[in-house]
Amino acid sequence: MWGRSLAIGQYVPLDSPIHRLDPRVKIVFVGISIINLFILQDWFSFLLWGIALIFLVSLSHISFTYLLKSLRPLLFLLILTLVLHFFFTPGEYIWEYGFLHISREGVSKGLLIVTRLCLLILVTSLLTLTTSPVELTDGMEYLLSPLKRWGFPAHELAMMMTIALRFIPTLLEEADRIMKAQMARGMNLDSGGIMQRAKNLIPLLVPLFVNSFKRADELAIAMESRCYRGGKGRTRLRVLELTSSDYYFLVLSFSFIALLSLRSFI
């Protein structure tokens, strides 16, 4: 099943140093890491990032092979990005055939961008794999709480983002089940041209959307039956507090990111 074979949106309940970190620390770390990865422009920095990511994955006790599954939904996008840079980046040509050509600059830039995207996806997936939906909601709400004084719905936004992330594997699993059921009834997704293939997806998309709206309605009813009325006046069973491990992780990770950023500007 797709939902079970993909890492994106999943949470793996383990007892590891990364799991025990405060969710606010992990969210801030991922946010700063994304900015840093967009700044970096050389292979050595990406190599250091790869080594750091492998170290974090080993600390989380999560299989690196399982983490790599988070790249599967975006595999087509990664390949398309690579092909576009290969064939449409001007520079010194290393291969030509008619109007097609591959430049040395295109190969270098394409591989660099794909590596950056892979690191971004893996770092973000590590956050969801080591942080429960409840912790993600609490962490995002704490970080967005200063905006509440201007009427910003921090709790509601954090709740929506967490629910959307949580239901990605569920929707993929639902799509896989519907596809297998329709194929058992004789549906062929690969026959015909582009327009015909698009029409063939209608028996898949219609029940998927219907089930999604039904699931959303059931979730809303369940939340209302538990007297959920938004974040106003709500208390928490567990209050988030930073520990010494959180401070050590912040100092080490920020120092690592700062050194890489300074190196890219020198």
More confident residue, 191 or 136: 136
Write out the two tokens for 203: 């028996």
For the segment 222-233, what is each residue's pLDDT rounded down to a tens digit? Answer: 888 877 776 666
Identify which of 99, 70, 65, 59 has the alpha carbon closest to the alpha carbon of residue 252: 59
Q: How confident is the model at residue 103 (pLDDT cuts 50, 70, 90)?
A: confident
The domain segmentation of the chain, as residue ranges, is 1-131+239-266, 153-234
Cα Dmax for the chain: 68
Contact (Cβ atoms closer than 8 angstroms) between residue 200 and residue 192:
yes
What is the rounded CA–CA span in Å between residue 236 and residue 177? 37
| Residue where the block lists tokens 């939904």 | 73
Q: What is the pLDDT of residue 143?
A: 85
For the segment 51-99, what is each residue's pLDDT rounded down to a tens digit? Answer: 999 999 999 999 888 888 888 878 888 888 888 888 888 777 777 776 6
Mean pLDDT of 155-170: 76
**Phi-psi domain of 234 (left: phi exceeds 0; alpha: psi -120 through 50; beta: other):** beta
What is the rounded CA–CA span in Å between residue 6 and residue 221? 28
Asked if pLDDT for residue 252 goes beyond 50, the answer is: yes
State the Cα angle at 127 between 30 and 25, rounded to 5°: 55
pTM of the model: 0.76
What is the rounded CA–CA span in Å between residue 176 and residue 51? 35
Identify which of 93, 112, 128, 120 has the alpha carbon closest to the alpha carbon of residue 37: 120
